Amino acid sequence: MKQLNVATLNVKDVKDHLPTDPQQEAKALEEYVSAGIKLHAAGAIYFAEDDDAAIRGKFEYCKRAGIGVIVAGDPTPQSLPRIEKFVKDYDVRIAIHNHGPEDKLFPSPLDVLKVVRNFDSRIGCCIDLGHAARAGTDLVQAIRETGPRLFNIHMKDLTSFQSKESQVAVGDGIMPVREIFEALHAIQYKEFVDLEYEIHADDPMPGVIESFAYMRGVLAGMGFTNRA
């Protein structure tokens, strides 16, 4: 992350990101602090059980870490009233993540919006751009429509919007990156755009570096500088 000049991170609830065991979590948090890295979100975290104890544990986990946004993987519409109670109690936002055409509940962020619009304003969307594009979503329209309920962006690029296996470094595919950033600027988006680079696990850094360089170049071309 220092090589990338990135100091903020959306962590996953796994051992080598941020463990859920309280003692291991505390140790990891100390390491992030000493490295100058701030955790701004956690997820995708999955809400498999519509149960107070299970849901409370996820909010406690994020509260200990000082994390204000939970990227939620699969809450059902039926579980949202219970989740809303914890959102209010903990003042932690929920950003429901869309997972493309395979997702029977939330293929598109517009499907998320239909469900959350009548809940507390701290329940909203995380737009995964790759999955949304594969679901046939107009990405610019989705950004504009979700507006104040857009709490997180997962950025990736694809060479085909019909194949999630076609991921490439950002800038090497067909993702309309500039138009996406323009739409985010138009809605005065103040949250994070998180790179989600899920290929070349044995040697990800070249593609990650290329992705950040491309995004920073787009932002510079729009007149923005010093953006991580």
Q: Is the pLDDT of residue 130 over 60?
A: yes
Q: What is the pTM of this model?
A: 0.94
Q: What are the residue ranges of helices labelled H in 128-204? A: 129-134, 139-146, 177-186
CATH topology (fold) of 8-221: TIM Barrel (3.20.20)
Which residue from 163, 154, 155, 165 is spatially nearest to 199, judged by alpha carbons? 165
Q: What share of the chain is helix, strand, coil (3-state, %, to 5)?
A: 45, 20, 40
Average pLDDT, the chain: 96
**Whether residue 201 has a cis bond before it, omega within 30° of 0:** no
Interval 168-225: pLDDT, tens: 999 999 999 999 999 999 999 999 999 999 999 999 999 999 999 999 999 999 999 7
Domain boundaries, the chain: 8-221
DSSP for 110-150 reads HHHHHHHTTS-TTEEEEEEHHHHHHTT--HHHHHHHHGGGE
Q: Which two tokens stand for residue 223?
A: 């007149």
